Structure 1
Amino acid sequence: MTEVFGIPLPALLGQLMLGLVNGSFYALLSLGLAVIFGMLHIINFAHGAMYMMGAMFTWIALEYLGLGYWWSLALVPVLVAVIGVVIERLLLRHIYKLDPLYGLLLTFGLALVFGGLFRYVFGAGGQPYSIPEQLTGAIDLGFMFLPKYRVWVIAASLSVCLLTWYAIEKTPLGAYLRAATENPKLTQAFGINVPLMVTLTYGFGVALAALAGVLAAP
């Protein structure tokens, strides 16, 4: 049997594939964090809490509201984005011109509040939910059986990352967002609603975190 660095090739390929799957979750999570930090210069310590919200709200939607997985996949990131918009409007908007440390402390406090609230209501144990029937089963790759759900996660994460890049770099809305964060006064002079662009940026960033939570939870 072929070995690489003393590791059987099938085992090595299997571990690389598992790393690719786990990396898909982290790619979405870090993409949202990068959007917020890169465009708003806020160190968003509450980002992990938004990831948790995505997973927990999906579990609530499936277990208590009877919504299917696909409906939850579409609606939960929007719900978390709305929560992010409220946070940006009520709290973050007042600290953009202050030392970045204030943003770090504020978002860290929000993370503690949300984490404590969900732990109090739902407990500290895991709350897994079933994957949709269409994504059950596995694909035989020869060196391992890769669950179809993991294939879906990789494809979905890659698609979202590419679409996000395209939206920010190649569309008029992306140009407005970049202009609003790089030179807000000049952008405002051209009639663009800078506060709205900033709010949309934060909402989109936390929606990506929620989407990662939805995909990672099963």
Structure 2
Amino acid sequence: MTMIFGVPTVALFGQLLLGLINGAFYALLSLGLAIIFGLLRIVNFSHGAIYMMGAFVAWMLLNYLGIGYWGALVLAPVIVGLFGVACERLLLARIANLDHLYGLLLTFGMALIIQGLFRNGYGSSGLPYAIPPALTGGQNLGFMFLPNYRAWVVVASLTACLATWFVVERTRLGAYLRAATENPTLVGAFGINVPLLVTLTYGAGLGLAALAGVLAAPIYSVNPNMGADLIIVVFAVVVIGGMGSILGSVITGFALGLVEGLTKVFYPEASATVIFVIMVIVLLIKPAGLFGKEA
């Protein structure tokens, strides 16, 4: 049996794959959080519940309407994004000029309501969601077996993250968004509808969380609590990368997923806390985060 640093190769690369998959979800979720915080300055505590909602919408599309995985991959983010647009217009817009603490409390309350509704409707046990036939099976790489669906999750997440980064950093719409974060009054004076930008940005951030939920549905059971624990880690990822930093969220998400996977191989007892230890160290050295800008 081939060994690396005293660890079987299969075990090492298997944990790295799991870490990469976790990193894909960390990156997508933290990206949505970074976008929302960057423009709205709202710490969106409902993000984990929205991730869970995306998985449930995919499950409901399949079981109630017969729309499979590929259709849900498009429809679920759109449906959840429209839900986010309604929430921003009806709720968040009303507290836009108040202290940011109100936004945090409001989104925390939204998370509890969403989780409670799905828990009452579907219970706490997991609901199965099958892997699409086109992505079943896997590839034997010699040193490990790579499931096709796991590889697809990493590729899809990375593609979505890079596409979002391109829109925000390299397009005119992204320039408007970045300008609106710095001086919304001046941007509005040029005839740009800043409230509409804010609304669409919030919907897009929630759509990214829903996309992560659809990708996660065939891997994990679809249940109301699936986002409760994950969101704590994602907030740590956002803090490490830098609040509001899109590139920082993507890089940090994937990197910390790999670090978590390696920790499970060499020191399993620390795997649940390694990300938070890194967060403390980063905050002590660079309070704004690795890619964040000092206030």
Global fold match (TM > 0.5): yes
Q: 2 CA distance for matches of 1:191 and 1:179? A: 13
Q: 2 CA distance for matches of 1:33 and 1:2? A: 41
1:161 aligns with 2:161: yes
Aligned pairs for 1:1-218 (under 5 A) are 1-218=1-218
Unpaired runs of at least 5, structure 2: 219-295
1:32–1:208 contact (8 Å) kept in structure 2: yes
Deviates more, 1:91-100 or 1:150-159: 91-100
Deviates more, 1:176-185 or 1:49-58: 176-185
Taking structure 2 as the reference length, the TM-score comes to 0.72
Seq. identity, %: 67
Unpaired runs of at least 5, structure 1: none
- RMSD value over aligned CA atoms? 1.1
CA shift at 1:165, angstroms? 0.5
Q: 2 CA distance for matches of 1:177 and 1:96? A: 17
CA shift at 1:200, angstroms? 0.7
Q: What secondary structure does 1:67 align onto?
A: coil
Q: What secondary structure does 1:130 align onto?
A: coil
CA shift at 1:27, angstroms? 1.1
2:40–2:198 contact (8 Å) kept in structure 1: yes
Taking structure 1 as the reference length, the TM-score comes to 0.97
Q: 2 CA distance for matches of 1:107 and 1:167? A: 26
Q: 2 CA distance for matches of 1:147 and 1:98? A: 48
Q: 2 CA distance for matches of 1:113 and 1:143? A: 46
CA shift at 1:2, angstroms? 4.5
Q: What secondary structure does 2:65 align onto?
A: coil
Question: When the two structures are aligned, how many residues end up with a matched partner?
Answer: 218
Q: What secondary structure does 1:146 align onto?
A: strand
2:38–2:181 contact (8 Å) kept in structure 1: no
Q: 2 CA distance for matches of 1:65 and 1:49? A: 23
Q: 1 CA distance for matches of 2:4 and 2:131? A: 35
1:181–1:198 contact (8 Å) kept in structure 2: no
Deviates more, 1:28-37 or 1:9-18: 9-18
Structure 1 stretches of 4+ moved >6 Å: none
Q: 2 CA distance for matches of 1:128 and 1:41? A: 36
Q: 2 CA distance for matches of 1:12 and 1:68? A: 34
